């Protein structure tokens, strides 16, 4: 019986091709070819620069131009020259365009809801989808610096605390831990970095400093769906790069032996175990790295 990995992969492909095809063609219900609908959606999602849309959708400049013209004639899009550079153009939805865009959004959301409702445990299904999407999108993960008070950061931190609570035998209570003040993770003291996969945050790390040549790495978290894809390393690299930029040359961090994969990561990245340097009740392992 051929239930080998390859057959399973190919079954997945066929199932998904059929379904995604149906999803795509549901966009056809609004009497507009798929190309035009995709451009409308890209603009609706905030890609206003014509070149950005073209790039995102992988379109030839001629084709892009024609699609844009079509949407303009329909009265859904208006283009204006870019204020800094009149060669470039920026496209924006008109009121009618925004309505049409929202109709597409509704369609898409409806399909998503129907699909998720097909399973008795949508959370398990979503976790599986996250995992697949993370592996597929592995090359398209970007790391950005954000405010540690912003919603992306808060989301990541919430997930991080939840994970610790699950993995520490004693649970985890933020208020008992040495919680770095958000100001310490903002320039010029430090920074806060979030990894985005197609717009969704899937990992974070904080660089917490007080001025001077020393800082701490805090709150390294990678979404379960994205583990094993080298994201921890990339986040640590982003934090180190920022530290160098800020003139920091000694980094420290604390962690717990209940998180063996974190320990392995630090060791692989050239961190050295040192003696306890704080009285936080949760960590039992302490590391340092000279840049």
Partner DNA sequence: CAAAATGTCTGACTTAGGTCAGGTATCATG
Partner DNA sequence: CATGATACCTGACCTAAGTCAGACATTTTG
272 touching its own copies, by CB under 8 A:
no
Q: Which does 255 bind (CB under 5 to 8 A by kind): its own copies, DNA, none?
A: none
Q: Which does 63 bind (CB under 5 to 8 A by kind): DNA, its own copies, none?
A: DNA
Candidates 127, 174, 176, 274: give the one binding its own copies (CB under 8 A): 127
Stretch that binds its own copies, among 81-89, 132-140, 206-214, 264-272 (CB under 8 A): 132-140
118 touching its own copies, by CB under 8 A:
yes
Which residues would be at the binding site for DNA (CB under 7 A)? 33-36, 49-51, 54, 59-66, 68-69, 79, 81, 85-89
Which residues 170-199 are close enough to bind its own copies by CB under 8 A? 197-199
Q: Which residue has the tokens 């451009």?
A: 39
- Could you tell me the CA-to-CA distances from 276 to 207, 213, 273 in Å, in that order? 19, 19, 9
User: 141 is written with which tokens?
Assistant: 């993960």
Measured distance CA(44)–CA(52) in Å, rounded: 13
24 touching its own copies, by CB under 8 A:
yes
Candidates 115, 161, 172, 282: give the one binding its own copies (CB under 8 A): 115
User: 2 is written with which tokens?
Assistant: 């051929």
Signed CA dihedral, 254, 259, 265, 267: sign only? positive
In the complex, the smallest distance separating the C-beta of residue 225 from its own copies, rounded to whole angstroms, is 8
Buried b (16+ CB within 10 A) or exposed e, 175-197: eebeebebebbbeebbbbbbbbb
């Amino acid at each position: 019986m051929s239930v080998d990995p390859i057959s399973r992969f190919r079954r997945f492909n066929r199932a998904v091709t059929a379904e995604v095809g149906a999803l795509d063609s549901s966009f056809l219900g609004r009497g507009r070819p798929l190309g035009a609908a995709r451009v409308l959606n890209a603009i609706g999602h905030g890609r206003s620069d014509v070149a950005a849309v073209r790039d995102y959708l992988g379109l030839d400049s001629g084709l892009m131009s024609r699609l844009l013209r079509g949407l303009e004639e329909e009265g859904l899009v208006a283009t204006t020259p870019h204020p800094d550079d009149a060669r470039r153009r920026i496209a924006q939805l008109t009121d009618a365009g925004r309505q049409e865009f929202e109709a597409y959004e509704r369609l898409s959301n409806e399909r998503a809801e129907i699909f998720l409702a097909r399973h008795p445990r949508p959370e398990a299904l979503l976790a599986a989808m996250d995992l697949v999407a993370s592996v597929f999108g592995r090359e398209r993960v970007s790391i950005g610096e954000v405010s540690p008070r912003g919603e992306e950061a808060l989301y990541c931190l919430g997930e991080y605390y939840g994970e610790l609570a699950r993995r520490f035998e004693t649970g985890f209570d933020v208020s008992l831990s040495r919680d770095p003040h958000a100001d310490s993770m903002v320039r010029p003291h430090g920074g806060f970095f979030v990894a985005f996969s197609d717009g969704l945050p899937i990992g974070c790390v904080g660089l917490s400093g007080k001025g001077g040549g020393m800082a701490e790495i805090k709150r390294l978290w990678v979404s379960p769906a994205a583990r094993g894809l080298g994201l921890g390393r990339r986040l640590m690299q982003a934090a180190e790069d920022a530290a160098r930029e800020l003139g920091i040359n000694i980094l420290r961090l604390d962690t717990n032996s209940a998180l063996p994969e974190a320990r392995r990561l630090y060791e692989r990245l050239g961190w050295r175990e040192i003696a306890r340097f704080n009285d936080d009740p949760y960590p039992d392992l302490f590391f340092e790295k000279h840049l």
